[in-house]
């Protein structure tokens, strides 16, 4: 270091002290300034602040509607009012509380609790105390503007779904955004926002949800609007067009009503979902306002699980439908010749255990075609034994079981295809050859969803071209998954499935004159080795009924899978539903007007005269798309559009 | 000869006061932003504080004599940085003040403040006599005027003015003659009309507004008036954190930064303001005490340079909030949100620690 800094240690202590005094003086001066503002003129400024109140009133953006493939509205909105409580003046609020609660038909405790819950929000931010104002509430608020100045109304758009749980699982429902969602949204959602919770509402929330606008108004100390500043208009959400065909959906819903199960109808060539129903259902309108805790608990604890979307979440044994996969494995692996025959005495013994044929006492001599047509278990026991579990598992998985179909809905379940490795991994046990015998006829650990069945059988019928099922019409689906099946195998399989319906097979009763309906029944025992314990608690252990059908036989246009839980035989309870949906599809194609599509059998070739004329004129074959905003759920008898909650309560209008 | 510096030699009182002020600041930043799209800003500020503390400790390890040795080079470097920012800097809010450093935009003029403290400390130390000659006074003036001019070009009137007190306090401590001081004051007064000519229109507006705020309450008088309403309506105990209507409704301009004192005054009242100003007074007096106990004049000039800048910041900012001074855009040290400004304060305090650590050395 240079000696630059030497000999200079005499510090000007006096001048430093002067600066200290200067600082104390200046800070004191500033404090005097604050004193003058905050103590002397405090009241005056408090009044100015009061006069300054700007209230930001949100303008709620309407959610986009959902329309079917022909533009008919399925889900839209209706305007409604929420009651806002202004909390600026706590004393006034406490005084008016009993009167407010009484006038709005709310419990004082309930309102008190809501005020309590919002105490960390700024005082001037109003809270919603009643999400759905009835006409009586509106009258009450309007008539008491002067003496109860703390109530305000906010226009909102309430979601309107078809009544009776129509398509409820696919559409899903909306609700107030959760804290987790707010945090995950990166600033997109704010407390109180309404977002899709399940189904399409959730899947396409980004499109459906608009951006709220706001209006800034100047209000006086009692919340009266005294001036308007600026307004940002709401940006409405975009409507989405679905692949659903309202008419087919209606048939599916009507035919499934009162049962427990699901219907899935796809166009296997594109993966478009034409109909998708699940029963028992719930009413998503109940969620559109604020669902009470009791209602929510009831829905969740209902032993019938109405919230479960059985089309994509019911994971059950496929029963004899699995024989289609067995056949594909048998023929494609070439492990067993196509000419393989078995004599069926009604039972067979494997590994020291007797396996019965579930459907019939004895089929006699069976070849592959007849074994499928008559659903002979003994034949497929033998096929299974020869193939072995890993070969079965390989083909079932490659044909689409045990993995997601990729439908554009949240919460799809993947089912399960067992294998030696799976059992080792999950149970740390060796695979018993006897289990293969059960798997061969779709029992055992194998579980599938109705969506998987429609997707895989449609793909198999197309020779191994699988198309991602989707509900959004202009979705670019994932590229098709190919697992080419040889022409001879496809021919053998579709011929046999044609036989099931048309050659006196297990679903002979569901024959449709003039339509090449093909299919396969499945009747799955509810009690399996794994399911015994769970199912043991439930009453009514009838078998689950399955049917999957498609038409025409080659290059099918429609594939329908139906599950009826506890429905008994697939041929009896599931096949007729498939038949009716397929029939409605063809009737509509031939020009039958939508309101004449029924589940009643129609004589072959009969075409409604009016419809023929319309078809000849090249006009629309079906109902014209209705303008958005109007509810068009006409064919549904229960499609009331008046919200249930707006039934007038007894108003308590005091003079 | 040299005794090593130990943790006990740090000024723990200074630490405590500094962190107390930061704590009040974080609380008010949270309160002012939690219900808006800026929510979470207090965490960013906490990050800057942490970075600042690190910088402060690092800077305190380096002997300040070595820093003063390099003063001419640092001064040149500072000028180059100021010219660079004018040439290629990043514009925000209509002013070129930012240079990208480590992925963040740093305000170069904050760095210039540090450098001017060092450069002037070196200059005044070099004078060595207890009286400042007119020539030296002019030299100090030129030394200050160059960076001030460059910052004015950005334009950033507030920061440019902040450099002046360093030169003035330094000159006072270096023994300015009272005749020279009188001339300086006179010259300053005569410069005012000339300076007025050079102000940008918005700057002129701020000054006229300050003189007659009630003329145009919706226009440029708005900020001062709303700030005063916020302060006044706070009363003695305030409206409670998060419940200030002026603050939460956005009447208080940049309530998390330049006007954070108004937000604090509204929500915590005179009680909160009193606490905050006492903390600032304690901070400044503690700095002066450190200057009084410095080992040499160089150390004293360094510490008093820091004190001059911080004191100017506090007084001008708080005076602005209660309408005693025009709006200048000078943040409140350690409380206002801001990365570069917070870093600057901690680095400046690092210089002070440096002087303190070495008061017994030699």
pLDDT of residue B153: 84
- Which of A38, A48, A120 faces B235 most closely, judged by CB atoms? A38
Cis peptide before A155 (omega within 30 of 0): no
pLDDT of residue A650: 33
Residues 6+ apart with CB under 8 A from A186: none
Whether the CB-CB separation of A551 and A517 falls below 8 Å is answered with: yes
Same domain, A122 and A194: yes
Residue A270: exposure state from Cβ atoms within 10 A (0-12, 13-18, ≥19): middle
Range name among A82-96, A247-261, A489-503, A602-616 with the lowest pLDDT average? A602-616
The rounded mean pLDDT for chain A is: 81
Same domain, A548 and A591: yes
Minimal CA–CA distance to A392: which of A446, A326, A485?
A326
Minimal CA–CA distance to A64: which of A628, A643, A641, A630?
A628
pLDDT of residue B276: 96
Q: Is residue A450 part of a domain?
A: yes
Give the pLDDT confidence of A186-207 residue by residue, as tens digits: 777 876 678 888 899 999 998 9
Q: Which two tokens stand for residue A441?
A: 């006829």
Q: Is A54 on the interface with B (CB under 8 A)?
A: yes
Same domain, A387 and A509: yes
Q: Is residue A338 part of a domain?
A: yes
Measured between CA atoms, how close is B197 to chain A, in angstroms? 30
Q: Is A629 on the interface with B (CB under 8 A)?
A: no
Q: Which residue in chain B is spatially nearest to A188 when comparing CA positions?
A: B37
Residue B179 clears pLDDT 60, i.e. is over it: yes
Same domain, A324 and A377: yes
pLDDT of residue A157: 84
Q: Is A90 on the interface with B (CB under 8 A)?
A: no
Q: Is A146 on the interface with B (CB under 8 A)?
A: no
Give the pLDDT confidence of A568-586 residue by residue, as tens digits: 787 788 999 999 999 999 9
Q: Is B318 on the interface with A (CB under 8 A)?
A: yes
Residues of A in contact with B251 (CB under 8 A): 52, 54
Residues of A in contact with B297 (CB under 8 A): 5, 8-11
CB-CB under 8 Å, A42 with B232: yes
Q: Is residue A9 part of a domain?
A: no
Q: How many domains does chain A have?
A: 2
Q: Which helix (H) or strand (E) is A150 found in, with range?
A: none
Q: Which helix (H) or strand (E) is B195 found in, with range?
A: helix B178-198
CB-CB under 8 Å, A30 with B319: yes
Instruction: Identify the three-state secondary structure at position A296.
Output: helix
CB-CB under 8 Å, B295 with A30: no
Query: pLDDT: is B255 or A637 the higher one?
Result: B255
What is the pLDDT confidence band of residue B105, given thresholds at 50, 70 and 90?
Answer: low
Q: Is residue A64 part of a domain?
A: yes
What is the pLDDT confidence band of residue A306, given thresholds at 50, 70 and 90?
Answer: confident
Looking at A185, A210, A241, which one is the last position of a domain? A241
Same domain, A421 and A443: yes
The backbone torsions φ and ψ at residue A87, rounded to the nearest 5 degrees and listed phi first, read: -110, 20
Mean pLDDT of A437-441: 91
Whether the CB-CB separation of A145 and A172 falls below 8 Å is answered with: no
What is the pLDDT confidence band of residue B243, given thresholds at 50, 70 and 90?
Answer: confident
Most A CBs within 10 A among B126, B178, B229, B247, hence the mutation to make, goes to B229
Tell me the C-alpha distance between B104 and B85, whole Å: 14
Mean pLDDT of A386-397: 93
Same domain, A591 and A570: yes
Mean pLDDT of B121-140: 87
Same domain, A72 and A123: yes
Give the pLDDT confidence of A333-385 residue by residue, as tens digits: 998 999 999 998 888 888 888 888 776 678 888 999 999 999 899 999 999 99
CB-CB under 8 Å, A10 with B130: yes
Q: What percent of chain A has pLDDT over 90?
A: 38
Q: Which two tokens stand for residue A47?
A: 């009044």
Same domain, A271 and A127: no
Residues 6+ apart with CB under 8 A from B200: B155
Residues 6+ apart with CB under 8 A from A178: none
Q: Is residue A644 part of a domain?
A: no
Q: Is B221 on the interface with A (CB under 8 A)?
A: no
What is the pLDDT confidence band of residue A8, given thresholds at 50, 70 and 90?
Answer: low
Q: Which of residues 10-39 of A touch B (CB under 8 A)?
A: 10-13, 15-16, 19-20, 23-24, 26-27, 30-31, 33-35, 37-39
Q: Is residue A605 part of a domain?
A: no
CATH number at residue A211: 3.90.1310.10
User: What are the CB-based long-range contacts (under 8 Å, 24+) for A600-607?
Assistant: A603/A513, A604/A513, A604/A514, A605/A514
Residues 6+ apart with CB under 8 A from A155: A59, A60, A79, A80, A81
Give me the residues paired with residue A59 across strands: A213
Looking at A575, A600, A625, which one is the last position of a domain? A600
Q: Which residue in chain A is spatially nearest to B34 when comparing CA positions?
A: A121
Write down the residue that tokens 């005082």 correspond to. A123
pLDDT of residue A529: 40
Q: Is A229 on the interface with B (CB under 8 A)?
A: no
Range name among A113-117, B66-70, B292-296 with the lowest pLDDT average? A113-117
CB-CB under 8 Å, B294 with A11: yes
Residue A536 clears pLDDT 70, i.e. is over it: no
Same domain, A237 and A293: no
CA–CA distance from A641 to each of A631, A633, A638 (Å)? 7, 9, 9
Give the pLDDT confidence of A446-475 residue by residue, as tens digits: 999 999 999 999 999 999 999 999 999 988
Q: Is residue A34 part of a domain?
A: no
Whether the CB-CB separation of A199 and A309 falls below 8 Å is answered with: yes
CB-CB under 8 Å, B245 with A124: yes
Mean pLDDT of A615-626: 35
Q: Which of residues 81-110 of B touch A (CB under 8 A)?
A: none
Q: Is residue A623 part of a domain?
A: no
Whether the CB-CB separation of A219 and A53 falls below 8 Å is answered with: yes
pLDDT of residue A130: 85
Looking at A551, A568, A600, which one is the last position of a domain? A600
Same domain, A212 and A333: no
pLDDT of residue B313: 95
Query: pLDDT: is B246 or A523 the higher one?
Result: A523
What is the pLDDT confidence band of residue B128, given thresholds at 50, 70 and 90?
Answer: confident
- Which of A4, A19, A187 faces B37 most closely, judged by CB atoms? A187
CA–CA distance from B119 to each of A192, B73, B284, B308, B350 (Å)? 57, 9, 21, 14, 16
Range name among A68-72, A282-286, B11-15 with the lowest pLDDT average? A282-286
Give me the residues paired with residue B132 across strands: B176
CB-CB under 8 Å, A39 with B233: no
Measured between CA atoms, how close is B152 to chain A, in angstroms? 27
pLDDT of residue B90: 67
Give the pLDDT confidence of A119-159 residue by residue, as tens digits: 666 666 678 888 888 888 888 888 887 788 788 788 888 88
The shares of helix, strand and coil residues in chain A, as percent rounded to the nearest 5, are 40, 20, 45
Same domain, A99 and A142: yes
What is the pLDDT confidence band of residue B185, given thresholds at 50, 70 and 90?
Answer: confident
pLDDT of residue A504: 81
Instruction: Give the range of the structural domain holding residue A143, as residue numbers without chain letter.
Output: 59-241
What interface predicted TM-score (ipTM) does this complex get? 0.91
Query: Whole-structure pTM over 0.80, yes or no?
Result: no
Residue B17 clears pLDDT 50, i.e. is over it: yes
What is the pLDDT confidence band of residue A607, given thresholds at 50, 70 and 90?
Answer: very low
Where do the domains of chain B lie?
A: 9-357
CATH number at residue A331: 3.40.710.10
Handedness of CA A236, A150, A142, A649 (dihedral sign): positive
Residues of B in contact with A4 (CB under 8 A): 68-69, 125-126
Same domain, A271 and A364: yes
């Amino acid at each position: 270091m240079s000696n630059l800094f030497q000999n200079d240690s005499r510090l000007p202590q006096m001048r430093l002290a002067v600066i200290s005094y200067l600082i104390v003086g200046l800070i004191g001066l500033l404090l005097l300034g604050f004193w003058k503002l905050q103590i002397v003129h405090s009241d005056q400024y408090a009044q100015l602040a009061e006069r300054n109140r700007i209230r930001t009133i949100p303008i709620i953006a309407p959610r986009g509607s959902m329309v079917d493939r022909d533009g008919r509205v399925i889900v839209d909105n209706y305007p409604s009012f929420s009651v806002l409580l202004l909390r600026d003046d706590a004393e006034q609020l406490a005084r008016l509380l009993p009167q407010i609660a009484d006038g709005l038909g709310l419990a004082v405790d309930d309102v008190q609790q809501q005020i309590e819950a919002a105490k960390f929000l700024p005082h001037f931010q109003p809270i919603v105390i009643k999400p759905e104002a009835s006409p009586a509430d509106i009258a009450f608020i309007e008539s008491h503007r002067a003496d109860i100045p703390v109530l305000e109304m906010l226009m909102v758009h309430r979601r309107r779904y078809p009544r009776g749980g129509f398509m409820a699982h696919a559409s899903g429902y909306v609700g107030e955004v959760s804290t987790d969602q707010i945090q995950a949204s990166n600033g997109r959602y704010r407390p109180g926002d309404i977002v899709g919770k399940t189904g399409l509402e959730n899947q396409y929330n980004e499109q459906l949800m608009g951006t709220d606008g706001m209006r800034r108004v100047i209000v006086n100390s009692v919340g009266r609007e005294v001036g308007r500043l600026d307004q940002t208009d709401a940006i409405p959400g975009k409507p989405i067009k679905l692949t659903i065909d309202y008419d087919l959906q209606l048939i599916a819903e009507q035919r499934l009503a009162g049962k427990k199960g699901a219907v899935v109808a796809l166009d296997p060539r594109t993966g478009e979902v034409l109909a998708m129903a699940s029963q028992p259902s719930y009413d998503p309108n109940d969620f559109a306002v604020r669902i009470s805790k009791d209602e929510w608990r009831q829905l969740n604890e209902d032993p019938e699980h109405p919230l479960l979307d059985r089309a994509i979440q019911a994971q059950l044994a496929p029963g004899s439908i699995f024989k289609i996969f067995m056949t594909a494995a048998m023929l494609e692996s070439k492990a067993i010749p196509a000419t393989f025959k078995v004599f069926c005495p009604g039972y067979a013994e494997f590994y020291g255990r007797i396996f019965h044929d579930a459907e019939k006492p004895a089929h006699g001599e069976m070849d592959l075609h007849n074994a499928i047509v008559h659903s002979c278990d003994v034949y497929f026991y033998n096929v299974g034994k020869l193939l072995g579990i890993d070969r079965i598992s390989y083909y079932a998985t490659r044909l689409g079981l045990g993995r997601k179909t990729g439908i554009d809905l949240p919460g799809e379940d993947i089912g399960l295809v067992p294998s030696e490795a799976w059992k080792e991994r999950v149970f740390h046990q060796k695979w018993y050859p006897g289990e293969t015998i059960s798997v061969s006829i779709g029992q055992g650990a194998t579980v599938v969803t109705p969506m998987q069945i429609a997707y895989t059988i449609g793909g198999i019928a197309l020779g191994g071209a699988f198309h991602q099922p989707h509900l959004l019409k202009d979705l670019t689906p994932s590229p098709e998954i190919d697992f080419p099946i040889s022409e001879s195998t496809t021919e053998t399989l579709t011929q046999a499935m044609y036989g099931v319906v048309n050659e006196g097979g297990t679903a002979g009763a569901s024959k449709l004159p003039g339509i090449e309906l093909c299919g396969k029944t499945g009747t799955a025992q509810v009690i399996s080795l794994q399911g015994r314990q769970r199912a043991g608690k439930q009453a009514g252990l009838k078998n689950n009924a399955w049917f999957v059908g498609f038409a025409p036989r080659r290059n099918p246009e429609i594939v329908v899978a139906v599950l009826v839980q506890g429905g008994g035989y697939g041929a009896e309870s599931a096949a007729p539903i498939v038949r009716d949906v397929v029939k409605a599809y063809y009737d509509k194609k031939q020009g039958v007007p939508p309101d004449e599509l029924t589940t009643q059998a129609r004589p072959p070739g009969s075409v409604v005269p009016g419809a023929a004329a319309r078809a000849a004129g090249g006009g629309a074959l079906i109902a014209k798309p209705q303008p958005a905003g109007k509810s068009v759920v006409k064919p549904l008898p229960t499609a009331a559009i008046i919200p249930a909650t707006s039934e007038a309560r007894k108003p308590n209008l005091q003079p | 000869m040299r005794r090593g510096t130990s943790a006990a030699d740090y000024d723990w009182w200074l630490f405590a006061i500094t962190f107390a002020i930061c704590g009040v600041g974080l609380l008010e930043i949270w309160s002012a932003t939690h219900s808006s799209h800026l929510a979470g800003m207090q965490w960013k500020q906490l990050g800057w504080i942490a970075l600042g503390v690190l910088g402060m400790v690092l800077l305190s390890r380096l002997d300040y004599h070595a820093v003063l040795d390099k003063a001419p080079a640092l001064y040149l470097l500072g000028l180059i940085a100021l010219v660079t920012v004018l040439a290629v800097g990043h514009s925000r809010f209509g002013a070129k003040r930012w240079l990208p450093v480590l992925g963040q935009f740093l305000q170069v003029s904050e760095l210039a403040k540090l450098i001017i403290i060092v450069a002037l400390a070196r200059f005044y130390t070099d004078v060595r006599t207890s009286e400042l000659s007119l020539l030296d006074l002019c030299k100090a003036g030129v030394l200050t005027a160059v960076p001030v001019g460059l910052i004015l070009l950005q334009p950033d009137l507030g920061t440019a003015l902040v450099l002046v007190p360093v030169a003035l306090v330094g000159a006072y401590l270096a023994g300015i003659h009272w005749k020279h001081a009188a001339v300086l004051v006179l010259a300053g007064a005569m410069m005012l009309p000339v300076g007025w000519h050079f102000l940008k229109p918005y700057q002129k507006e701020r000054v006229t507004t300050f003189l007659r705020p009630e003329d145009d309450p919706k226009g440029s008088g708005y900020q001062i008036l709303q700030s005063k309403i916020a302060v006044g309506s706070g009363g003695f105990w305030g409206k409670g954190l998060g419940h200030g209507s002026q603050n939460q409704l956005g009447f208080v301009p940049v309530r998390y930064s330049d006007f954070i004192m108004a937000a604090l005054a509204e929500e915590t009242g005179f009680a909160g303001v009193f606490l905050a100003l006492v903390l600032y007074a304690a901070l400044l007096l503690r700095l002066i005490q450190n200057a009084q106990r410095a080992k040499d004049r160089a150390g004293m000039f360094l510490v008093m340079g820091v004190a001059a800048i911080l004191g100017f910041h506090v007084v001008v900012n708080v005076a602005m909030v209660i309408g005693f001074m025009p709006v200048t855009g000078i943040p409140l040290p350690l409380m206002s949100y801001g990365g570069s400004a917070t870093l600057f304060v901690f680095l400046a305090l690092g210089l002070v620690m440096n002087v303190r650590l070495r008061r017994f050395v030699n």
